[in-house]
């Protein structure tokens, strides 16, 4: 997505996410008002009637997510947007969509929690909830934007990945990115790829909506199409009917986890700044990564060889790039707006080969560059 021919606009991240959704062909949105994500629902409610799509405001986030799954089964490209308390309520049907393998997108504009927390303040406290929030073994794909342009691009990516992997995806934004305004130049249409879910060929004598058939996910026929089939939140066989046969159950769970986790390295996307000769690596994502960039520059001026590895893909977590860098590093510092969530994955990836220091901020405010710079200086004994 490199074309710069589009018109430059000043937009906020939430608006860019909604425009990204429309660019990706999202034609169904169900949501419930919640700060700091409501601009997305507002823009979708305004645009979808003009684009042959439909918008509905549901009675809560449980229903919103259910409607999104229902619409997707009808063949729609379906999305919702929310924040912490709403994301908690959506866990029920994120799990349903994982098990029933229904493509859909959730934008979570993170705010400070737990509970009602600080509705208008930013945080990155939903990182592990995104991975493990719904019960049972499953996997999920989550991307974290750091810029307004990335809100656009990554929403398209989320739609594409949802369609390709037949699974729910999460745009893990935060209040700072969602409400920040910056100039953005969108790519022209046709310069990026749009994925559509695989659909079965016509005239199959026995359509299996959950049979892998040599491909890694089964084609999904829309309700109202050629095939009639059953979808359930019960663990099911290849035809979609409930099963308690141990090897069928085992296969199903390994499939929904493996189709994502086995491709973690392919799905991993990073941005790197000054990592070639770095002694100290900052590992960051989302709004915190913007601050970390400024810290890297400040540290370099002070003679510390600092670098930044910014994770664009949060889940599935890939430690591949970290491991390539680890042996050359003296220290990894993980600043995040929580008390230690992605750092657990970083520690697990480098397995003690290099010290990993966590640095959390949980007062609802974004880090300041000096804070991270000073923290690193203290940690390296300067």
Of 14-22, 276-284, 286-294, 362-370: span binding other proteins (CB under 8 A):
14-22
β-strands 8-12, 181-185: how paired? antiparallel
Interacting residues with other proteins between 227 and 256 (CB under 8 A)? 227-234, 241-242
HSE-CB for 179 with a 13 A CA cutoff: 17
Q: Does 292 bind other proteins (CB under 8 A)?
A: no
Q: Does 33 bind other proteins (CB under 8 A)?
A: no
| Least spacing, CB of residue 141 vs other proteins, in Å | 21
Q: Which residues contact 347 (CB under 8 A, 6 or more apart)?
A: 356
Q: Which two three-digit tokens encode residue 56?
A: 């509905």
- Cβ atoms of 330 and 296 closer than 8 Å: no
Q: Alpha-carbon distance 341 to 211, whole Å? A: 35
- Cβ atoms of 329 and 281 closer than 8 Å: yes
Of 72-80, 163-171, 307-315, 327-335: span binding other proteins (CB under 8 A):
72-80
Q: Does 153 bind other proteins (CB under 8 A)?
A: no
Sign of CA dihedral 69, 264, 274, 342: positive
Q: Which of 60, 248, 330, 370 binds other proteins (CB under 8 A)?
A: 60
Window 73-112: contact mask with other proteins (x via CB under 8 A) = xxxx-x-------------xx--x----------------
Q: Does 47 bind other proteins (CB under 8 A)?
A: yes
Of 225-233, 245-253, 262-270, 333-341: span binding other proteins (CB under 8 A):
225-233
- Cβ atoms of 24 and 154 closer than 8 Å: no
Q: Does 72 bind other proteins (CB under 8 A)?
A: yes
Q: Alpha-carbon distance 260 to 98, whole Å? A: 11
Q: Does 270 bind other proteins (CB under 8 A)?
A: no
DSSP three-state, residue 255: helix
DSSP three-state, residue 74: coil
Give the nearer residue to other proteins in terms of CB position, either 190 or 214. Answer: 190
Q: Which residues bind other proteins (CB under 8 A)?
A: 6-9, 15, 19, 22-23, 28, 30, 43, 46-47, 49-52, 54, 56, 58-60, 62-64, 66-76, 78, 92-93, 96, 184-186, 188-190, 222-234, 241-242
């Amino acid at each position: 997505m490199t074309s710069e021919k589009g018109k430059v606009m000043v937009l906020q991240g939430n608006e860019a996410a909604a425009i990204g959704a429309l660019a990706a062909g999202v034609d169904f949105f169900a949501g419930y008002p919640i700060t700091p994500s409501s601009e997305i629902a507002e823009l979708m409610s305004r645009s979808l009637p003009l684009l042959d799509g439909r918008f509905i405001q549901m009675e809560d986030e449980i229903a919103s997510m259910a409607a999104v799954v229902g619409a997707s089964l009808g063949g729609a490209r379906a999305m919702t947007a929310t924040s912490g308390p709403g994301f908690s309520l959506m866990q029920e049907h994120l799990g349903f969509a994982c098990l029933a393998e229904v493509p859909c997108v959730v934008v979570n504009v993170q705010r400070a929690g737990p509970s009602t927390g600080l509705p208008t303040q930013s945080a990155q406290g939903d990182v592990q909830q995104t991975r493990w929030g719904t019960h049972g073994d499953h996997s999920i794909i989550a991307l974290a934007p750091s810029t307004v342009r990335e809100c656009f691009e990554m929403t398209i990516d989320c739609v594409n990945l949802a369609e390709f992997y037949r699974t729910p995806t999460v745009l893990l934004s935060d209040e700072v990115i969602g409400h920040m305004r910056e100039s953005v130049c969108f790519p022209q249409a046709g310069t990026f790829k749009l994925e559509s879910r695989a659909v079965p060929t016509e005239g199959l004598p026995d359509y299996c909506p959950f049979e892998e058939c040599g491909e890694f996910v089964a084609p999904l026929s829309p309700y109202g199409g050629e095939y009639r089939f059953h979808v359930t939140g019960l663990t099911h066989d290849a035809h979609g009917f409930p099963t308690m046969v141990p090897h069928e159950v085992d296969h199903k769970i390994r499939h929904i986890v493996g189709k994502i986790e086995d491709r973690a390295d392919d799905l991993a996307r990073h941005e790197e700044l000054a990592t070639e000769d770095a002694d100290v690596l900052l590992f960051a994502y989302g709004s915190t990564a913007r601050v970390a960039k400024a810290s890297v520059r400040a540290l370099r001026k002070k003679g510390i060889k600092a670098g930044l590895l910014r994770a664009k893909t949060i889940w599935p977590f890939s430690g591949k790039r970290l491991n390539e860098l680890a042996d050359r590093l003296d220290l990894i510092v993980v600043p995040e707006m929580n008390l230690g969530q992605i750092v657990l994955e970083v520690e697990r990836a480098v397995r003690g080969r290099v010290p990993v220091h966590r640095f959390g901020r949980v007062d609802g405010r974004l880090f300041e560059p000096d804070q991270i710079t000073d923290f690193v200086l203290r940690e390296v004994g300067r």
